[in-house]
Chains A and B, each alone.
Chain A
Amino acid sequence: MRKFLAILLVVSIVLAFAKTKVEIWSWRSQDEPVWKEVQKELNAQGKDIEIVFRAFLPTEYDSKVMMALKSGKGPDIIYSRRLPGVRTQSLIDAGLIKPLDGQVDFSNFSEGVLNNIRTGGKTYGVPFAVQVVGVFYNKKIYEKYNLQEPRSWDELVQNAKILKEHGVTPFFVPGKSAWALTMQHAIVGTSILGPCWIRRLMKGETDFLDPDWIYVNKILNDLKVYYQDNFMANTTDDLNTAFAFGQAAMVFYGIWGYGMWKQLNPEMEGNVGFFMSPPDCKCGKPWAYVFMDGALALTSNSKNPQAALDVLRFAATPKFGTIFAKVTYNIPAVKGAQMPNDPLLMEMTDVVSNHASPYVYWVGSVFVSGKPSLYQDVLSPGMQAMYAGKITPEELAKKAQDALSQWYEPLKKRLGK
């Protein structure tokens, strides 16, 4: 009897001190310290929650999540991709992630952000980040050669020319990472074409054979003389290393790279500048490509749904946004967060609020919601082919036209299909 009571006592003590585990899966390995901070905050609020964070390779993440949830296992919370998109939509359709309306306060998010995670009138996650993509440059190199942020495409090319003449690699482009080339097209195209042109494309009032679209392909193809040697064999990892250590003056990239550059080389703190890809001429206005990255979704297999909801409720507060921004140097999706005192992040916040193009054609656009997709099937392989000299800018435009006119109704209608 004594033994039994002793065991009971030990078990009771262990249980009393055991924390409720909440498991989170993500494709963003850089977020691990965020969740350590969140756990501290929750624990300080008297919630005995232990957050177990696991990151997977982005290319394998979605299949891992799907397999795990389908077999009745998996984590309590997943990082989900934005909507519309087959990956998150199939999880919703199968009832594997739950709507959070009425359980999480979404008042700190803008409607625009929430639309990226809503379907059927329900909200399926807590958005975590807003991404800005554009041209990042090394300030010291710019200062050394007395260069200014370009206000037109010609000025950008002129800057590149000056840098090249001085033996500096103007741009580091990761030709092997096809997705980054599509992103580069989108960064440049958003400013050169402008939102009104993209809107006309969306409405089927113009198409991909429009000289303006071909012009974007052309100027990008012409720009490749200013890329590093053998750029077609470089990845985004190489880009991060090269840019962090000053081996190139400029990169077409996203704000998510900033944390990595500083981690690789602390001297990059305060040494990174940003400008939106310039318009064709000075009289034009530059536009930024801004998109919601993803959301935190509650799975139906959650072993501790109440604790998971506590985590998600916290993720919907400005305090989470403050932690997120401080650790990752990304822009949190939640409003009211305190941004680190970093001029680059301040500038990004301004860009998100005042210069985001309302119409886009890469991630978060209608052109990637069907198959063949402008992103995966046309521009990713197509940009590589154009840069390798296998196809012309006109042929790349035709590929886009042929692919999208298979399913995109306004374009089909325009072409009389």
Chain B
Amino acid sequence: MQKISRKFILLFVLPAFILYTTFVIYPFIYSFILSFYQWPGVGKKIFVGLKNFRDILVGPFAEEFRNAFVHNIYFFALTAIFELGLGFIIAVLFVTTIKGKRIFQTLVYLPNVISMILVGFIWNMMLNPQWGLVNKFLKTIGLGFLAKPWLGDPNLALNTIIAVNVWRHLGFYVLVFYAAIISIHPDLINAAYIDGANNFQIIRYIIFPMVVPTLQTLLILLFIWSFNVFDIVYALEGVQAGPFRSTDVLGTLFYRTAFGGLGSSRMDFGLGAAIAVIMFVIVVPLSMFYAYMAEKRRRS
């Protein structure tokens, strides 16, 4: 009986195992091996040992790598503040009984269903310095001095991308916080009201502490996503991550080095794979910590 059940277990595990091996394990091992080679994508691979890692960390690509890495950290910090902060505040507003909240819920979540490339297209038009809606609007209401080259000013470009990213993803965080807040037992909140607590105190001492585990999970996920960010930068600034790499992140650096194209300084899958391996090394410990936290919470 025991043998039969094991067979069944294996049988059920097999499809997932095959898929996971094919699409996760194999590409990772292949990337890891490739990171020791120089290879433009065709022809013979040349073994270069640790040269690719040296090039990235201390060699000719070190400056670009550091620049992109710092941007990833900055991206994470700002998206964490705005997406989680605003997400929480809006979720709290949604649990109240304000009129027309359904419409607001839909409006906040709507950008989430738009593909990132379309988001890039829409915002590229909206932010056009001459005929974009944003600058036109600012000029119309008499704030023309605020009209800027949003995606062309090195001091503004990354912040603009982050703002678009917040616009695109905010709905998701609102939804998760909203679910966490409505799962708080109403008795806790009612008891606090009876004890004379005001709304702010209820948020500060009951709602916020109760959603902290959710916040932790979202923070870790956000970190992982921030280090894998590519599409929004690509859609708004292209692989060149301009102006002069002021919006470069590890994802665009990887793309440029691996696939070449306009604005790329080298086309080498080995170098790209080395960047991917480093990204993996940064992200995996936190992913494991996230898995540990999730499991711990499940058990408790």
Of the residues B40, B240, B244, B245, contact of A90 by C-beta under 8 Å: B40
B213 within 8 A of A: no
B244 A381 Cβ-Cβ under 8 A: yes
Chain A residue contacts of B238, Cβ below 8 A: 59
B260 A62 Cβ-Cβ under 8 A: yes
B266 within 8 A of A: yes
Chain B window 58-82, contacts with chain A (Cβ cutoff 8 Å), 1 for yes, 0 for no: 0010000000000000000000000
Chain A residue contacts of B260, Cβ below 8 A: 62-63, 86-87
A96 within 8 A of B: yes
Select from chain A the residue with minimum beta-carbon distance to B245. Answer: A381
Of the residues A59, A231, A384, contact of B239 by C-beta under 8 Å: A59
Of the residues B42, B135, B237, contact of A70 by C-beta under 8 Å: B42
B49 within 8 A of A: no
A103 within 8 A of B: no
B267 A86 Cβ-Cβ under 8 A: yes
Chain B residue contacts of A175, Cβ below 8 A: 149, 152, 243
| Cα(A87)–Cα(B41), bound, Å | 10
B40 A63 Cβ-Cβ under 8 A: no
B293 shortest CB reach to chain A, Å: 38
Most buried by A among B147, B242, B262: B262
Chain B residue contacts of A62, Cβ below 8 A: 259-261, 267
| Cα(A204)–Cα(B154), bound, Å | 34
Chain A residue contacts of B130, Cβ below 8 A: 228-230, 234, 238, 242, 247
Chain B residue contacts of A231, Cβ below 8 A: 129, 149, 152
B240 A380 Cβ-Cβ under 8 A: yes
Chain A window 28-70, contacts with chain B (Cβ cutoff 8 Å), 1 for yes, 0 for no: 0000000000000000000000000000001111110011011
Of the residues A63, A86, A384, A406, contact of B244 by C-beta under 8 Å: A384
B42 A93 Cβ-Cβ under 8 A: yes
| Cα(A86)–Cα(B40), bound, Å | 8
A47 shortest CB reach to chain B, Å: 31
| Cα(A406)–Cα(B265), bound, Å | 14
| Cα(A223)–Cα(B186), bound, Å | 67
A178 B150 Cβ-Cβ under 8 A: no
Binds B, one of A1-9, A12-20, A370-378: A370-378
Segment 159-177 of A: residues with Cβ below 8 Å from B:
175-176
Chain A residue contacts of B60, Cβ below 8 A: 371-372, 406
A215 within 8 A of B: no
Select from chain A the residue with minimum beta-carbon distance to B150. Answer: A233
A179 within 8 A of B: yes
B265 A230 Cβ-Cβ under 8 A: no
| Cα(A179)–Cα(B129), bound, Å | 20
B261 A63 Cβ-Cβ under 8 A: yes
A233 B244 Cβ-Cβ under 8 A: no
Chain A residue contacts of B266, Cβ below 8 A: 371
Chain B residue contacts of A63, Cβ below 8 A: 41, 259-261
| Cα(A229)–Cα(B145), bound, Å | 12
Segment 219-236 of A: residues with Cβ below 8 Å from B:
228-234
- Whether A233 touches B265, Cβ cut-off 8 Å, given contacts A178-B240, A381-B244, A406-B60, is no
Chain B window 230-253, contacts with chain A (Cβ cutoff 8 Å), 1 for yes, 0 for no: 000000011110111100000000
B151 A233 Cβ-Cβ under 8 A: yes
A409 shortest CB reach to chain B, Å: 17
B118 shortest CB reach to chain A, Å: 16
| Cα(A390)–Cα(B43), bound, Å | 41
A385 within 8 A of B: yes
Chain B residue contacts of A377, Cβ below 8 A: 265
A154 shortest CB reach to chain B, Å: 29
Segment 199-246 of B: residues with Cβ below 8 Å from A:
237-240, 242-245
B243 A94 Cβ-Cβ under 8 A: no
- Whether A176 touches B242, Cβ cut-off 8 Å, given contacts A230-B148, A233-B129, is yes
Chain A residue contacts of B263, Cβ below 8 A: 59, 178-179, 376, 380
B240 A234 Cβ-Cβ under 8 A: no
B265 A371 Cβ-Cβ under 8 A: yes
A382 within 8 A of B: yes
Chain B residue contacts of A228, Cβ below 8 A: 130
A384 B43 Cβ-Cβ under 8 A: no
B56 within 8 A of A: no
B161 within 8 A of A: no
A226 shortest CB reach to chain B, Å: 16
Chain A window 227-254, contacts with chain B (Cβ cutoff 8 Å), 1 for yes, 0 for no: 0111111100010001000010000000
B243 A176 Cβ-Cβ under 8 A: yes
A60 B261 Cβ-Cβ under 8 A: yes
A320 shortest CB reach to chain B, Å: 27
A230 B244 Cβ-Cβ under 8 A: no
| Cα(A295)–Cα(B242), bound, Å | 29
| Cα(A256)–Cα(B256), bound, Å | 26
Select from chain A the residue with minimum beta-carbon distance to B236. Answer: A176
- Interchain Cβ contacts under 8 Å between A and B, 18 examples: A59-B239, A63-B261, A66-B41, A66-B42, A67-B41, A86-B40, A90-B43, A229-B129, A230-B147, A230-B152, A231-B129, A233-B127, A233-B128, A234-B129, A238-B130, A371-B60, A384-B242, A385-B243
Give me 20 other A-B pairs in contact (C-beta within 8 A), A178-B242, A376-B263, A377-B265 excluded: A62-B261, A63-B259, A93-B44, A96-B42, A176-B242, A178-B240, A229-B129, A230-B129, A230-B149, A230-B152, A231-B149, A231-B152, A232-B149, A232-B243, A233-B149, A233-B153, A238-B130, A371-B266, A381-B242, A385-B243
| 5 closest residue pairs by CB, A with B | A233-B152, A232-B152, A233-B149, A230-B129, A230-B149
